[in-house]
Structure 1
Amino acid sequence: MSKKGIFIVSLDFELNWGVHDVFTLGHYQENIVGVRQAIPRMLELFNHFDIHATWATVGMLFFDNKKELLANLPELHPSYADAAFSPYDKLASLVGENEQQDPLHFGASLIKEIMDYPNQELATHTFSHYYCLETGQTAAQFEADVQASVKVAKAIDQSTKSMIFPRNQINHDYLQICKVNGIQCFRGHEDSWVYQVGPFHNKGIIKRMLRLADCYLPIFGDHTYSIDQVTTEPIVNLPSSRFLRPYHTSLKSLEPLRLRRIKKSITNAAKKGEIFHLWWHPHNFGKDIESNLGFLTEILIHVATMREQYGLTSLTMAEASTLALQGMDSHTIRSR
C-alpha cells in the first residue's frame, strides 16, 4: 500500500477567555459574538468534507452558568507577575449569570453542538487559558489547571488526549504533567526560528512581519513532516504547519497568494505521505464570516481532491498521535 498523507485541523476554542487581557469587549466583541454563527457552519463544512477536527477548548467554557463555573475552579490559580494575564480576578465582573445573558464567556451549548457531529475531538486548551512561559506561574499551578480541565471534560463523558498550549507557549518541563494526567499529544510550533515562542511581551516585530509574509510567500517552507519522525516522549508532538489567518479587507488582493500557499503545501504533504497541520481560532471567523468560510471551503475542496488523487486522509490529533504511539506510519492508513 502506498504511503498516505495526513491532514490535521486543530482549533483553539476560547471565546473571550483567550483575549481578555489583549482586547476590550468593545474592540473585539463582534468576533466573539460571531463565533456562534461561524462554528455551526464550520461543523457543516467538516461534516460535508469528512474532516476530523480537534477542538482545543478552554475549560471555563464548559459551563452554562456562573454558579457552576465558580464551583469547579481549581484550588491553585496562576500567580503571574503580570496580574492582567489571569482571568480569575475578572470573574466578579462577568456581564451575565449564564450563557444566554453572557455568550462571551460561557459555551456549554456550543460544546454540545460540536460533540453532536461525527469525528470531532474535544481537546484541552487548559482550564483558564494558562500561560506556561509567563513569569510567576508554577508547575503545581499548571497541574491544578490541567486536572480541572480534564475533570470538566470527563463530566460530559469526554476523555482528554490532546493539549494545545495557549499562545503556543510550550513549556517542555510541563509535558510530563500532561502525560500523568492522561494527555498523549500536543501541538508544537513550526520548525523555524521565526515560529519560536516566548513570553507574550517578548514578541519581536521582525518575527511578526516574517510570519505574516510567510503566509503568502514560501519563505520558510511547507512545514510538513512524516508521522514516523515525530517526537513521542514524553508525549507526541504534532507540530503546526500553518496558521489559517483570517480574511482582512486591506489584504484582499493577496488572498490568491495565501490560498495558493496553503494548497501547495497540502499537495506536497499528499504526494510525500506527510502531515499538514492547519490551525486557527473560531473567533478568527467571527467577523467577515462569509469570506472566511469561503476561503476554508476552497481549502477543503482541495483536500478532497488530494484524497481522491493520493489518498490523503483526515485525522484528529488524538488519532494521529495514536498511530505514532503504536509505532505505525501512514502506510497503514486506509484512504477515507
Structure 2
Amino acid sequence: MGSVVISLDAELGWGFHDLVTPPAERVEAGRRGWSVMLELLEEFEVPATWAVVGHLMLDNCDGVHDDHPAPEGWFARERDEWADREDLRYGPDLVADVLAADADHEFASHTFSHVLFGRPETDRELAVAELERSREIAAEWNRSIDTLVYPRNDVGHRDVLAEQGITAYRGRSPTRDGVRGLFDSTVRDRSMLVEPVVDEYGLVNVPASLFLFGFEGAARTVAESIWADPMVELARRGIDEAARTDGLFHMWLHPNNLTDERDDRRMRAILSYLDRQRAATDLRVETIADVAGRVAPESGFSERATASWQ
C-alpha cells in the first residue's frame, strides 16, 4: 500500500528575515497562501504536516530576545524594518486555524526563528535554544513537538533533536528540483519515491521527494503555453507511482509560494488528482508523524502525535 505525504514550511516573514533583499512578492503572499492552502486541504480532506516557526505563535515580543544566543543582528529586521509589520512576525490566528481544521493535520516545528542548523555558525547552544523555545511555546498552546522540518532543508545537530525528544524530521530530497528534476523523471524515468529510515540517532528521516514550486519564472510560462504545468505533471507521476507500489511520495512547499491564482490552480489540480487516486486505489495520505509511527512503532510516535490533538 503506497502513501503520499504533504509538508508545509509555515514561516511568514521569518523565512526571509536574514536575507539582504527578501523576495517582496513572496514575503507579502505568506498570509494569503497560508489561508488558501488550508482551505484547499480542507476541501479535499487531505491531512498535512504543518511545520510552524515558533515565533509566529507569540502575540508580541520586544524584538531583542536578550536571552537567545543568536548571532549579533539576527533579529535586526524584526526590530527595525519590520517593527511595524506584525503581520509578518506573528501568526497566532493562522496557527489556530490549522489546529481547528477538520483535516487531521500534524503540528510540527520549523524552529523558533528559522535558524539554519547546518551552517557552521549555528553551534550547539543555538540549536538547543531554538528547539527549547519552540517546545516552550508549543506547551503554552497545549501542544507537543515530535517532528522538525529544517529551515531550507539545512540538516544539522540531529543529536540535539534526539535529546530534545524529537522523533522525526524531513530529510533532504534525493531527487533534483526544476528542469533537471523534470528531465530525470520524464526522460530518464527516474523514480521520485523515497525510503524513510531510522538514522544513527534513532530519528526517523522522512526524505522529501518533490518541491512543488521548483519550476518557476519564464520556463514555467513557456511550458504551460505549449504543454501543461510541469509541476502538476510531476506530482501526478509521483502519486501514480506510489499508488502502484508500497512506496512513499513526499511533496512539500511553503504557503508563500502561492502568490497568485495560477499557483492556487496548481495546488488545486494536485490535490484533486490525489483525492481521485486515493478513492480509486488503496493509496494512503499520511503525515510525517504517521510515517514515523509505521517505521519506528516502538517510539510511541503515533500515540503522542494523536494525543497532542486531543
TM over 0.5: yes
Partner Cα distance (2:111, 2:291) in 1: 21
* 2:287 corresponds to 1:316: yes
Are the aligned partners of 1:185 and 1:317 in contact in 2 as well (CA < 8 Å)? Answer: yes
Q: Structure 1: where are the runs of 5+ without partners?
A: 196-210, 329-336
Query: Shift of residue 47 of structure 1?
Result: 1.3
**Paired-residue identity, %:** 25
* 2:231 corresponds to 1:258: yes
Q: 1:148 aligns with which of 133, 136, 144?
A: 133
Partner Cα distance (2:292, 2:284) in 1: 14
Q: 1:298 aligns with which of 244, 269, 279?
A: 269
Are the aligned partners of 1:6 and 1:314 in contact in 2 as well (CA < 8 Å)? Answer: yes
Map 1:58-69 to 2 at 5 A. 58-67=53-62
- When residues 74 and 123 of structure 1 are mapped into structure 2, their CA distance, relative to the original with a 3 A threshold, is farther
Are the aligned partners of 1:214 and 1:220 in contact in 2 as well (CA < 8 Å)? Answer: no
TM-score (norm 1): 0.79
Task: State the match for 1:106 in structure 2.
Answer: 90
Partner Cα distance (1:321, 1:187) in 2: 11
- When residues 50 and 74 of structure 1 are mapped into structure 2, their CA distance, relative to the original with a 3 A threshold, is farther
Task: State the match for 1:36 in structure 2.
Answer: 31
- When residues 104 and 29 of structure 1 are mapped into structure 2, their CA distance, relative to the original with a 3 A threshold, is farther
Task: State the match for 2:150 in structure 1.
Answer: 165
Q: 2:18 aligns with which of 7, 11, 21?
A: 21
Partner Cα distance (2:5, 2:252) in 1: 8
Query: Shift of residue 23 of structure 1?
Result: 5.1
Map 1:69-148 to 2 at 5 A. 73=65, 75-79=67-71, 87-96=74-83, 102-118=86-102, 119-148=104-133
- When residues 234 and 220 of structure 1 are mapped into structure 2, their CA distance, relative to the original with a 3 A threshold, is farther
Q: 1:188 aligns with which of 159, 171, 191?
A: 171
Partner Cα distance (1:156, 1:304) in 2: 31
* 2:190 corresponds to 1:224: no
- When residues 319 and 279 of structure 1 are mapped into structure 2, their CA distance, relative to the original with a 3 A threshold, is same
* 2:9 corresponds to 1:12: yes
Are the aligned partners of 1:87 and 1:128 in contact in 2 as well (CA < 8 Å)? Answer: no
Partner Cα distance (2:179, 2:189) in 1: 10
Q: 2:49 aligns with which of 45, 50, 54?
A: 54
Are the aligned partners of 2:12 and 2:31 in contact in 1 as well (CA < 8 Å)? Answer: no
Are the aligned partners of 2:147 and 2:167 in contact in 1 as well (CA < 8 Å)? Answer: yes
Task: State the match for 1:204 in structure 2.
Answer: none
Query: Shift of residue 94 of structure 1?
Result: 5.0
Partner Cα distance (2:149, 2:66) in 1: 19
Partner Cα distance (1:185, 1:179) in 2: 9
* 2:157 corresponds to 1:178: no
Partner Cα distance (1:291, 1:93) in 2: 33
Are the aligned partners of 1:11 and 1:55 in contact in 2 as well (CA < 8 Å)? Answer: yes
Partner Cα distance (1:133, 1:51) in 2: 31
Amino acid of the residue matched to residue 180 of structure 1?
E
Are the aligned partners of 1:215 and 1:258 in contact in 2 as well (CA < 8 Å)? Answer: no
Q: CA RMSD in A?
A: 2.4
Are the aligned partners of 1:58 and 1:129 in contact in 2 as well (CA < 8 Å)? Answer: yes
SS of equivalent to 1:278: strand
Are the aligned partners of 2:33 and 2:255 in contact in 1 as well (CA < 8 Å)? Answer: yes
Task: State the match for 2:203 in structure 1.
Answer: 235
SS of equivalent to 1:66: coil
* 2:256 corresponds to 1:283: yes
- When residues 295 and 323 of structure 1 are mapped into structure 2, their CA distance, relative to the original with a 3 A threshold, is same
Query: Aligned pair count?
Result: 289
SS of equivalent to 1:44: helix
Partner Cα distance (1:36, 1:91) in 2: 17
Query: Shift of residue 243 of structure 1?
Result: 0.2
